[in-house]
Chain A
Amino acid sequence: MKLLLRFPSHLHERPYTAEIILETGAKINIDRAYVDAVHAEVVVDVPDDKARRVVELFKERGVEVRILKKLIVWDETRCVHCGACVSICPKGVFRFDADWRVTLDEGKCVQCGVCINACPMRALALFYGEGERVKQQE
């Protein structure tokens, strides 16, 4: 399960993620992290069986947690199944099916954003939750 964690600035100093990994034994993978002077956002991948506990522990520490069910928005009406996204995705999210149609394996997405500009049809966008926009590095 993918979680978007927002750390308020006063929480920057403590190694919360490490503490939670040690406490739960969950193998947490950091997909993406953005940190600046006032703001820290991390997207982590947590094994499903430990996810509930991990969410609780982050919340207890004052970290804002959002479960990312949807990572990427794909406008199938714009898509012409060209494949410009296929070779540039570092995680293999996009594949061709037997009919040369592009299919998405959203679970693999780490929201790196490379595909967004690579799509000639502008059919892809990162999803952060309704009406939300998370900081993204160029």
Chain B
Amino acid sequence: MDFKVKKSIAEINEKIKDGSVSVVTADEMAALVRELGAERAAREVDVVTTGTFGAMCSSGVFLNFGHADPPIKMRRVWLNGVEAYTGIAAVDAYLGATQPSERNPEYGGAHVIEELVAGEEIELRAVAHGTDCYPRKSVETEITLADLNQAVMVNPRNAYQRYNAATNSSDRTLYTYMGTLLPNYGNATFCGAGALSPLCNDPEYETIGVGTRILIGGAHGYIIGAGTQHEPVKGKGTLMVIGDLKEMKREFLRAAVFYKYGVTLYLGISVPIPILNEEIAKRTGVSDAEIVTEVIDYGVPRRDRPVVRMVTYAELKSGSIEIEGREVPTAPLSSFYMARRVAEELKRQIERGEFLLTEPVARLPTVGETKPMKQTRELPLVRDVMSREFKVVREDASLEDVAKAIVKGKFTHIPVVDAKNKLVGIVTAWDISLAVAFKYNTLDKIMTRRVVTAKPDEPVDIVVRKFEQFDISAMPVVDDEGHVLGMVTSDQISKLVGR
């Protein structure tokens, strides 16, 4: 292609060295391209710095502890009670950010990583089977980051190009990796830095590739390839990155806990984009209004959750979006404030000549999709285990009728239906005892109206989760109209598991 502006990375590096380089952050570039047009912006700007700061679960560090005397081939190793993977050489281990402690589920790998960066002392415990060359069977010691030979962060998947937003249509609060999702579309959360996000500014992966030098956790690091679940065709590219933990700063790396979900790592990443021509300049001029993502309903506990609507990052960042006629408050889980600081930090380093750009040695794939898991064992569905023999009572039934239904049938739970045979409640043997004890004499005084139900095509695992969540032992299986099709009980499922 014939460009009006032509620059090379080597030329830009010369400008960085002599201090004449012109650097802007990606949000400043969006304004410049709007104002001056891509060609003039390309003449004026040499480097655009991007930034993101958010939860990056697929992160961790390779650690080398050095050899003990007598030496040990660690079979299992724990750092502050958090297990690291040691199925590699004798004293190498990989500590994953989301690995929970065996003592406290609110403490995990990310906390150990943050504390290492902060220079704190970490308790190390390892066990082994003992060999002729590694006779030792256990070791306990305290270490700090300075004591380690290497501590290298290698993250299989970071810096999602864009990610879906989350909401919740169900009638209870959900605690997810997308934060607290209030019932009945009570809120919507989203992540990613939008127009500041690295891959959004280079969606064709023209300059961001294998070998690109980046800022990761405040340290210089590199992109080593496309990340896992890299899905360019859907605009959901990801990066695999590496960086030296010993050079990282705590302000750009934080352990986090998602309530009732688990531990993760918040990490700041900044990727520079050399403005080699006006086309690249144009793409770095992307604005939040042009980046579209899906709002997904996490109220449906399946892989293919329904898309509630499409939305732009500009709408998400406005503070509310409309869902089914309602104004739903929105808020990010990633920090725009920190994303900007990360981008500004890289800008500062380039301006001071402390950071030179690299030529990528290979491009990231621009094709490829993420497949679902191949499942070779059939997952039992509710319809495979539910009992089709059941008794229902009408809402105007007497307590004697209910008691008889319990005695005659084999269920302690009796669904209550209206004149159109639709489920309106449930009554149990316990409720009948309650009625006898307190002399209640009508069904409406004792029945439960908010009934937890199952659908025939739901996997049994979902029902098991509901049993645990609501502390119940049986539920009616209903069709979409609320007609009772059967009953499913925890006993039936126990039998299935024991099979």
A residues in contact (CB < 8 Å) with B: 78, 80-88, 99-101, 114, 117-118, 120-122
Contacts and interface: CB of A to CB of B under 8 A. Distances in A.
Nearest to B339: A100
Contacts of A81: 335-338
Nearest to B55: A120
Contacts of B187: 87-88
A121 B337 contact: no
Contacts of B337: 80-81, 99-101
A120 B176 CA distance: 11
A82 B180 contact: no
A87 B189 contact: yes
A92 to B, nearest CB: 9
A121 B188 CA distance: 19
Interface of B: 53-55, 106, 175, 179-180, 182, 186-189, 254, 256-260, 264, 266, 329-338, 340
Contacts of B335: 80-83, 100
B340 A84 contact: no
A114 B338 CA distance: 24
A120 B333 contact: yes
A78 to B, nearest CB: 8
Contact of B340 (A78, A88, A100, A114): A100
B331 A114 contact: no
B257 A87 contact: no
B172 to A, nearest CB: 13
Given A80-B335, A101-B337, A88 B179 contact: yes
B176 to A, nearest CB: 11
A88 B182 contact: yes
B299 to A, nearest CB: 16
Contacts of A85: 331
A84 B54 contact: no
Contacts of A118: 179-180, 259
B179 A121 contact: no
Contacts of A100: 335-337, 340
- For chain B, what secondary structure do more than half of its interface residues adopt (helix, strand, loop), or is it mixed? strand
A104 B254 CA distance: 22
Given A80-B338, A120-B258, 8 more contacts: A80-B337, A82-B54, A84-B180, A84-B331, A99-B337, A117-B259, A120-B256, A121-B266
Contact of B329 (A84, A87, A117): A87
Interface centre among A83, A99, A100, A122 (most CB of B within 10 A): A83
27 contacts: A80-B335, A81-B335, A82-B54, A82-B266, A83-B331, A83-B333, A83-B335, A83-B336, A84-B180, A84-B331, A84-B333, A85-B331, A86-B329, A88-B182, A88-B187, A88-B331, A99-B340, A100-B340, A117-B259, A117-B260, A118-B180, A120-B179, A120-B258, A120-B333, A121-B254, A121-B256, A122-B257
Contacts of B329: 86-87
Contacts of B55: 120
Contacts of B186: 88
A78 B340 CA distance: 18
A120 B177 CA distance: 10
Nearest to B186: A88
Nearest to A80: B335
Contact of B266 (A80, A88, A99): A80
Contacts of A84: 179-180, 189, 331, 333
Nearest to A120: B256
Contacts of A114: 180
B331 A87 contact: yes
Chain A to chain B: the 9 pairs with minimum beta-carbon distance, closest first = A87-B331, A86-B331, A120-B256, A117-B259, A100-B336, A87-B187, A81-B337, A83-B331, A118-B180
Contacts of B333: 82-84, 120
A91 B53 CA distance: 27
Nearest to A102: B337
A83 B333 CA distance: 6
B459 to A, nearest CB: 28
Contacts of B182: 88
B475 to A, nearest CB: 23
B31 to A, nearest CB: 15
Given A114-B180, A117-B180, A120-B179, A83 B254 contact: no
A70 B175 CA distance: 28
Contacts of A87: 187-189, 329-331
A81 B193 CA distance: 13
Contacts of A121: 254, 256, 266
Nearest to B329: A87
Nearest to A81: B337
A122 to B, nearest CB: 6
B224 to A, nearest CB: 26
